């Protein structure tokens, strides 16, 4: 980065050039998980804080957002509500094995689930606003951009603009889903729209092999749709343990999801029967909905960062040091906009460390060791610790891998997949359903 890098434990805190006064100690752009945590924690240390955020809407756009950000409004929370709803199909089927006699049709009301989902995210949006208000944070509605090292311009929904100055600026604008550039891409949707579809699809095509793709495949299949999942690699969930990737793929197929490994989509077109999908292998199929779940892009394109000297990488992510400091001394960044580990708890950790470093007098670097990760497929998967490859590198190829599986008593009748854990001597990676993780994780943690 352009500025001088600091020694361990040393943090450069902008002094504004000596004696300047500012409207705020901290101005935060973006009221998602990281922005809200950074704001309220900084305010708790006595800082005068303001935060700007776009008006609430379930689907994000240049002029739509909401307090709570991606996780609360169009990510973790609504997605898990849909996962819970979809999982009941399997529960009804399993109930027969436990003696329940279910006579007649079991009807499902998609619109009712969407209505309840929307009510919950509206409630949480209000909760985040109250948290900020109770913390003494000034909330400003609109889109923020950086004018200079200490000035933010907020463009409000009516087009009017106002400028605010601050000793420090924290950027926490998150990321957005993107569409693969193929002919007909405008016919596809992202996870934003998938969470708010007016009609449940009968035929769904999903492009992507990450957790979002796997989760929506599980949701739509659980709610009765025919699902085809396409991804570039031989197995889904790149970056996860290969053994568990195999288990997940087998489980998806076992639930009736059609997998298409090492296959890309090349064209979409509208027909009277729906959307025609063409693959790079020459195959064609029809769908009611095509979901692109192929990654996310940091929300930096409207921030005017390069004009003020904030460095970004080739995908637009803000470059930061170990303390979340950008190349401009008074500007910081946390969360998905930095493209480090794009998880809500990580953004919260980074924001807390930022506040302690800048306003708490306690320089703290985020600790990315042993970050848990969950995939809310049906059934779900979670993991914590080193991967086998990471363990090999850390132990210079001298490790012993122990693999075991177990089947909870309920599953012996309900026929669910067994769970699997892997023990790398004292270096552990634990793979489980999140539902059964907590006790085992806490016990094993003692041996790390």
**Nearest partner of 141 among 299, 305, 24, 31, judged by Cα:** 31
Is residue 25 a contact partner of residue 49, using CB atoms and an 8 Å limit?
yes
Q: Are residues 112 and 259 in the same domain?
A: no
Distance between CA atoms of 54 and 62, rounded to whole angstroms?
8
- Select from 308, 338, 369 the last residue of a domain: 369
**Is 268 part of a structural domain of the chain?**
yes
CA neighbours closer than 13 Å in the CB half-sphere of residue 115: 4
pLDDT at 149 over 60: yes
Helical ranges in 223-380 per DSSP H? 242-254, 305-308, 344-358
- We report the CATH number of the domain holding residue 258 as 3.50.50.60
pLDDT at 293: 98
pLDDT at 324 over 50: yes
**Is 103 part of a structural domain of the chain?**
yes
Known binding-site residues equal: 80, 144, 173-175, 208-215, 295, 336
Known binding-site residues for NAD(+) equal: 208-215, 295
Tokens of 117: 């989902």
* Residue 401 dihedral angles phi and psi, to the nearest 5°: -100, 125
pLDDT at 94: 86
pLDDT at 363: 96
Tokens of 184: 């007909």
The tally of domains found in the chain comes to 3
Distance between CA atoms of 250 and 282, rounded to whole angstroms?
25
pLDDT-derived band at 197 (thresholds 50, 70, 90) equals very high
pTM: 0.88
- Bridge-partner residues for 312, per DSSP? 318
Residue pLDDT, tens place only, 402-432: 777 767 777 777 655 544 544 443 334 555 5
pLDDT at 277 over 90: yes
Q: Are residues 91 and 228 in the same domain?
A: no
Share of the chain above pLDDT 70, in %: 88
Q: Are residues 72 and 196 in the same domain?
A: no
Q: Are residues 209 and 138 in the same domain?
A: no
Which residues constitute the domain of residue 252? Answer: 185-294
**Is 50 part of a structural domain of the chain?**
yes
Q: Are residues 266 and 138 in the same domain?
A: no
Residue pLDDT, tens place only, 6-46: 344 445 454 444 567 999 999 999 999 999 999 999 999 99
pLDDT at 436: 46
Q: Are residues 49 and 154 in the same domain?
A: yes
pLDDT at 5 over 70: no
**Is 374 part of a structural domain of the chain?**
no
Known binding-site residues for FAD equal: 80, 144, 173-175, 336
Residue pLDDT, tens place only, 84-117: 999 998 888 888 889 998 887 788 899 999 999 9
- Select from 294, 320, 349 the last residue of a domain: 294
Q: Could you tell me how many residues make up the chain?
A: 448
pLDDT at 438: 39
Q: Are residues 102 and 245 in the same domain?
A: no
Is residue 428 a contact partner of residue 444, using CB atoms and an 8 Å limit?
yes
Distance between CA atoms of 128 and 347, rounded to whole angstroms?
16
- We report the CATH number of the domain holding residue 414 as 3.30.390.30
- Arithmetic mean of pLDDT over the chain: 88
Q: Are residues 324 and 384 in the same domain?
A: no
Is residue 175 a contact partner of residue 337, using CB atoms and an 8 Å limit?
yes
pLDDT at 428: 45
pLDDT at 13: 52
Angle made by CA atoms 136, 139, 143, in degrees to the nearest 5: 150
Q: Are residues 121 and 202 in the same domain?
A: no
């Amino acid at each position: 980065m352009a500025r001088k890098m600091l020694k361990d434990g040393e943090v450069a805190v902008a002094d504004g050039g000596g004696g300047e006064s500012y409207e705020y100690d901290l101005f935060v752009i973006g009221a998602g998980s990281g922005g809200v945590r950074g704001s309220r924690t900084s305010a708790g240390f006595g800082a005068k804080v303001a935060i700007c955020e776009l008006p609430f809407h379930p689907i994000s756009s240049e002029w739509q957002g909401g307090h709570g950000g991606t996780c609360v409004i169009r990510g973790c929370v609504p997605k898990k509500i849909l996962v819970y709803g979809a999982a009941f199909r399997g529960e009804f089927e399993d109930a027969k094995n436990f003696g329940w006699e279910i006579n007649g049709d079991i009807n499902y009301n998609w619109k009712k689930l969407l209505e309840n989902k929307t009510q919950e995210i509206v409630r949480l949006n209000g909760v985040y606003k109250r948290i900020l208000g109770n913390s003494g944070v000034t909330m400003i509605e609109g889109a923020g951009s950086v004018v200079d090292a200490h000035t933010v311009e907020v463009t409000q929904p009516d087009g009017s603009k106002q400028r605010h100055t601050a000793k420090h600026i924290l950027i926490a604008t998150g990321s957005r889903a993107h569409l693969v550039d193929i002919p007909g891409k405008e016919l596809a949707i992202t996870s934003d729209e998938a969470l708010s579809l007016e009609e449940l699809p009968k035929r769904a095509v999903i492009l992507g092999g990450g957790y979002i793709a796997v989760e929506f495949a599980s949701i739509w299949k659980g709610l009765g749709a025919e699902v085809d999942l396409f991804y570039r690699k031989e197995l889904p969930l790149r970056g996860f343990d290969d053994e568990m990737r195999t288990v997940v793929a087998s489980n998806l197929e076992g639930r009736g999801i059609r997998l298409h490994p090492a296959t890309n989509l090349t064209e979409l077109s509208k027909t009277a029967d729906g959307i025609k999908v063409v693959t790079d292998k020459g195959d064609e199929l029809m769908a009611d909905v095509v979901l692109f779940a192929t990654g996310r892009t940091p929300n930096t394109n409207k921030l005017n960062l390069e004009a003020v000297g904030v460095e970004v990488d080739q995908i637009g992510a803000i470059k930061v040091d170990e303390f979340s400091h950008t190349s401009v001394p008074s500007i910081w960044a946390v969360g998905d906009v930095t493209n480090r580990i794009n998880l809500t708890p990580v953004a919260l950790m980074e924001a807390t460390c930022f506040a302690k470093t800048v306003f708490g007098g306690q320089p703290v670097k985020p600790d990315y060791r042993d970050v848990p990760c969950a995939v809310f497929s049906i059934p779900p998967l979670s993991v914590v610790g080193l991967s086998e490859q990471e363990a090999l590198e850390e132990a210079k190829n001298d490790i012993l891998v122990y693999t075991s599986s177990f089947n909870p008593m309920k599953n012996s009748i309900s026929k669910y997949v067994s769970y699997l854990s892997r023990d790398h001597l004292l270096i552990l990676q634990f793979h489980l359903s999140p539902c059964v993780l907590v006790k085992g994780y806490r016990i094993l943690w003692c041996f790390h």
